[in-house]
């Protein structure tokens, strides 16, 4: 795979019905914070959260799939009203296929946003494979699209905005805030 030319990128983005996000290193900056009792915390960027919510509000389903168990992720997903959250996933590819079966979607209608080797199994299957600019080099070289912002700092929002614009929702999303 290689980065797609702009015309092909827009065409693929226009067909996406499900956006799947890895978590650590994609929705977060990849650092894991542990307190003395072993409790874990994560930092999520507010702009990424609004982007995920905008996708759902405009009919593009969102799923989060991560290999780690994460109470912090479940709390953030509740806050955003994202229902498709899969933690402790050993086989992301199989989880992705299960989600597509549940939604009756072809894999070609899926965008996958991931940063590291466990995400690569999904890349050749989906219609749009995306990575943050600071993802692992082996992942970046196999992506159709790269963000300009790093993971955990608005990278996921860039993908959300790309999908919304390609599907004609940019003005609707803006209008909601410009003309409340």
Give 63-120 pLDDT, tens digit per residue: 999 999 989 999 999 999 999 999 999 999 999 999 999 999 999 999 999 999 999 9
**pTM of structure:** 0.95
Where do the domains of the chain lie?
A: 6-178
**Which helix (H) or strand (E) element contains residue 101?**
helix 92-103
- Mean residue pLDDT across the chain: 96
DSSP symbol at 167: T
Q: What does the pLDDT read at residue 40?
A: 86
The domain at 6-178 falls in which architecture? 3-Layer(aba) Sandwich (3.40)
Can you give the pLDDT at residue 10? 98
Residue 34 host element (H or E): strand 33-34
Structure tokens at 51: 């982007």
DSSP secondary structure code for residue 115 in this structure: -
pLDDT value, residue 45: 97
Structure tokens at 76: 């953030």
Question: For residue range 29-49, what is the model confidence (pLDDT) as tens digits?
Answer: 999 888 899 888 899 999 999
With a cut of 70, say whether residue 1 has pLDDT above it.
no
Does residue 23 have a pLDDT over 90? yes
List for the chain the helix, strand, coil content (%; round to 5): 40, 15, 45
């Amino acid at each position: 795979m290689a980065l797609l030319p702009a015309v092909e990128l827009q065409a693929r983005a226009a067909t996406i019905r499900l956006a799947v996000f890895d978590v650590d290193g994609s929705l977060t900056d990849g650092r894991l914070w542990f307190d003395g009792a072993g409790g874990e915390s994560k930092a999520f960027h507010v702009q990424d959260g609004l982007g995920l919510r905008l996708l759902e509000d405009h009919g593009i389903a969102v799923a989060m799939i991560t290999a780690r168990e994460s109470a912090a992720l479940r709390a953030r997903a509740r806050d955003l009203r994202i229902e498709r959250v899969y933690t402790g996933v050993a086989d992301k590819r199989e989880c992705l296929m299960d989600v597509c079966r549940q939604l009756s979607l072809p894999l070609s209608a899926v965008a996958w946003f991931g940063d590291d080797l466990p995400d690569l199994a999904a890349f050749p299957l989906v219609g749009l494979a995306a990575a943050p600019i600071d993802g692992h080099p082996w992942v970046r070289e196999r992506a159709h699209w790269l963000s300009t912002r790093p993971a955990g700092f608005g990278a996921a929002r860039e993908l959300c905005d790309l999908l919304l614009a390609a599907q004609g929702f940019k003005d609707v999303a803006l209008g909601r805030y410009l003309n409340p």
